[in-house]
């Protein structure tokens, strides 16, 4: 049914161009309009309440209300609402946040560059890699390795790193010099009887073969999320990063850790890199950096990279990169307060404890469900994947869009989840969630899953 004339939904359909939306359908159905939030819950314009099981977009780590963050924004807005960082100008919030990020880095880092989104952070890191290699006399070393099913953003460069078809089709992407290797998903990618360790070795060999084929003097960096987010909450197999990093070091290929989703406690450690054994040269972060109360992101670079950037800027007279809002004082002030809250609440410890409950309960409640093939995750990030054949791991026909349908049905049962590729449904709740709220979230999801199972049986789809 089309939205009512002059309603917020009708006005939205008439004027707003939504990201990640099928626009012909949107003109007819309109949007779910969220009016307010409190803790891990949000309410729509009709007053219906939902548990936000994905923290918006993996990002509202402190939930949808926090008085300290509001007050931090208000104080800074009254003191200095804007100033820029161009030409060696600075202000206290930018300085303090940069210092805090470098001090909290998972491996020694030298400097923090601030931007406004994860896409901007990854796009900036691409330029840093190219600039660095030019500055130190390696102009041919520019090619970048990413992975199928990766998500690194939607700017021209970051969308090229992304390994999802919808981010490439009709956009004339990826750009040249970006190569995608296999996703580290043992459930779907392993050969029959292949162990996680053997699968990891094969993937590392694939990366080495690519480097040798292209020429080690031309391959500059590899991008990797510790746990893939939008690509399906893919947790890499045991020994994966150990073996991959050995290959990268052998050929002097930089490792860039995209911590936009995994950073700040999501995996049960402060950084996903710590959970997965990554030692990056460059690290990008965003989302939970400010609990998404205001847009901000960061790029951390080690001493080696910083010295290359400094050398290049000395040759040219400037480092010709940055954004009007890089280190925006209000966003930076909110991010500083967010990091202080994380310290006080022991965000990683809380995520480990409540995350263990989430992971255990997902498996206890749903592992034997006839629709569910795999349950995967770590800390407070997880996914359940529906399959047509549990024995062979065969998915349903993608044209049926069962994941999206289940996500929509979940909304009717008062829980907002994220439908992903291969009919996976993601959970990434605010990091403040309690064990009892996890139970309530899973009860609502379970009710939706049972209702969906009934729907599929009525449609005579195969439910083994």
For 264-281, the pLDDT digits (tens) are: 999 999 999 999 999 999
How would residue 261 be classed by pLDDT, with cut points 50, 70 and 90? very high
- Asked whether residue 23 is domain-assigned, the answer is no
- 42 plus 76 within the same structural domain: no
- 183 plus 279 within the same structural domain: yes
- 54 plus 76 within the same structural domain: no
Report whether pLDDT(319) > 90.
yes
- 367 plus 268 within the same structural domain: no
Render the burial of 95-118: b for 16+ CB within 10 Å, e for the rest: eebbebbbebbbeebbbbbbbbbb
User: Which whole-number Å values give the CA distances from 186 to 203, 207, 235, in the listed order?
Assistant: 10, 16, 9
d(CA 1, CA 30): 9
Which helix (H) or strand (E) segment is 90 a member of?
Answer: none
- Asked whether residue 337 is domain-assigned, the answer is yes
Please classify residue 8 by burial: count the beta carbons closer than 10 Å to its beta carbon, then call 0-12 exposed, 13-18 middle and 19+ buried: middle
pLDDT at 29: 84
Report whether pLDDT(289) > 80.
yes
How would residue 399 be classed by pLDDT, with cut points 50, 70 and 90? very high
Give just the sign of the alpha carbon dihedral 368, 369, 372, 378: negative
pLDDT at 3: 55
Give the pair of three-digit tokens for residue 420. 């992903």
Q: Of 300, 323, 345, at which residue does a domain stop? A: 345
Look up the domain containing 450 and give its range: 32-65+347-458
Supply the DSSP symbol for 31.
-
CATH code of residue 389: 3.90.1150.10
Q: Of 345, 377, 409, at which residue does a domain stop? A: 345
- 239 plus 206 within the same structural domain: yes
- 84 plus 220 within the same structural domain: yes
- Say which residues have a Cβ less than 8 Å from residue 103's Cβ, sequence separation at least 6: none
Indicate the range of 14-28, 68-82, 201-215 predicted with least confidence: 14-28
Q: Of 306, 329, 345, at which residue does a domain stop? A: 345
- Asked whether residue 17 is domain-assigned, the answer is no
- Asked whether residue 257 is domain-assigned, the answer is yes
Query: 419 phi and psi, to 5 degrees?
Result: -80, 130
How would residue 463 be classed by pLDDT, with cut points 50, 70 and 90? very low
Reference 412, options 445, 440, 458; nearest CA is: 445
d(CA 271, CA 290): 15
For residues 123 and 320, the answer to whether their CB atoms sit within 8 Å is no
- The pLDDT of 164-188, averaged and rounded, is 98
d(CA 175, CA 161): 9
Helices (H) and strands (E) in the chain, counts: 16, 15
CATH code of residue 97: 3.40.640.10
- 198 plus 329 within the same structural domain: yes
How would residue 10 be classed by pLDDT, with cut points 50, 70 and 90? confident
d(CA 382, CA 387): 17
Q: Mean pLDDT for the chain?
A: 96
Counting the structural domains of the chain, the total is 2
- 263 plus 126 within the same structural domain: yes
Please classify residue 331 by burial: count the beta carbons closer than 10 Å to its beta carbon, then call 0-12 exposed, 13-18 middle and 19+ buried: buried
- 51 plus 172 within the same structural domain: no
Neighbours of 185 (CB within 10 A): 25
- Asked whether residue 449 is domain-assigned, the answer is yes
- 306 plus 426 within the same structural domain: no
- Asked whether residue 238 is domain-assigned, the answer is yes
Please classify residue 436 by burial: count the beta carbons closer than 10 Å to its beta carbon, then call 0-12 exposed, 13-18 middle and 19+ buried: exposed
Are β-strands 254-258 and 282-285 bridged in parallel, bridged antiparallel, or unpaired? parallel
- Asked whether residue 1 is domain-assigned, the answer is no
- The pLDDT of 350-355, averaged and rounded, is 98
- 86 plus 52 within the same structural domain: no
How would residue 26 be classed by pLDDT, with cut points 50, 70 and 90? confident
Q: What percent of the chain has pLDDT over 70?
A: 98
d(CA 143, CA 217): 9
- 377 plus 244 within the same structural domain: no
d(CA 229, CA 264): 15
- The pLDDT of 201-210, averaged and rounded, is 98
- Say which residues have a Cβ less than 8 Å from residue 17's Cβ, sequence separation at least 6: 23
- Asked whether residue 383 is domain-assigned, the answer is yes
pLDDT at 9: 85
pLDDT at 359: 98
- Hey, what's the torsion of the CAs at 345, 351, 356, 360, to 10 degrees? 120
């Amino acid at each position: 049914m089309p939205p009512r004339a002059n309603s917020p939904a009708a006005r939205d359909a008439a004027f707003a161009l939504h990201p990640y939306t099928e626009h012909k359908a949107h003109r007819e159905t309109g949007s779910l309009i969220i009016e307010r939030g409190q803790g891990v819950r949000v309410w729509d314009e009709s007053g219906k309440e939902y548990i936000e099981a994905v923290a918006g977009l993996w990002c509202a780590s402190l939930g949808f209300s926090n008085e300290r963050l509001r007050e931090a924004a208000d104080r800074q807005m009254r003191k200095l609402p804007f100033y820029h960082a161009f030409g060696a100008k600075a202000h206290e919030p930018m300085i303090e946040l940069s210092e805090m990020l470098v001090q909290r880095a998972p491996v020694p880092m030298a400097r923090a560059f601030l931007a406004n989104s994860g896409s901007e952070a990854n796009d900036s890191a691409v330029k840093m890699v190219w600039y660095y290699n030019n500055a130190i006399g390696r102009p041919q070393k520019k090619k970048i390795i990413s992975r199928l099913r990766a998500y690194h953003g939607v700017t021209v460069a970051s969308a090229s790193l992304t390994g999802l078809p919808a981010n490439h089709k009709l956009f004339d992407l990826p750009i040249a010099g970006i190569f995608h290797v296999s996703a580290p998903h043992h459930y779907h990618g392993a050969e029959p009887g292949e162990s996680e360790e053997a699968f990891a070795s094969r993937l590392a060999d694939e990366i080495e073969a690519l480097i040798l084929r292209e020429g080690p003097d031309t391959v500059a960096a590899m991008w990797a999320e510790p746990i893939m987010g939008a690509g399906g909450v893919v947790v890499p197999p045991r020994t994966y990063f150990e073996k991959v990093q050995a290959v990268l070091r052998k050929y002097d290929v930089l490792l860039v850790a995209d911590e936009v989703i995994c950073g700040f406690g999501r995996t049960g450690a402060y950084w996903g890199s710590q959970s997965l054994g990554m030692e990056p040269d460059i690290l990008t972060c965003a989302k939970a950096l400010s609990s998404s109360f205001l847009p901000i992101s960061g790029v951390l670079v080690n001493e080696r990279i910083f010295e290359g950037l400094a050398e290049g800027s000395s040759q040219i007279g400037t480092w010709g990169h940055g954004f009007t809002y890089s280190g925006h004082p209000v966003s930076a002030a909110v991010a500083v307060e967010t990091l202080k809250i994380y310290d006080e609440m022991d965000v990683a410890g809380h995520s480990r404890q409540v995350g263990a409950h989430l992971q255990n309960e997902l498996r206890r409640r749903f592992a034997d469900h006839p629709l569910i093939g795999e349950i995967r995750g770590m800390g407070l990030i997880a996914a359940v994947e529906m399959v047509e054949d549990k024995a062979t791991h065969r998915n349903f026909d993608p044209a049926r869009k069962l994941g999206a349908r289940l996500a929509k049905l979940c909304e009717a049962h008062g829980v907002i989840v994220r439908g992903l590729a291969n009919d996976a449904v993601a959970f990434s709740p605010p990091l403040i969630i309690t064990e009892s709220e996890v139970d309530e979230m899973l009860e609502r999801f379970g009710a939706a899953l049972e209702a969906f199972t009934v729907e599929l049986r009525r449609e005579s789809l195969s439910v083994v």
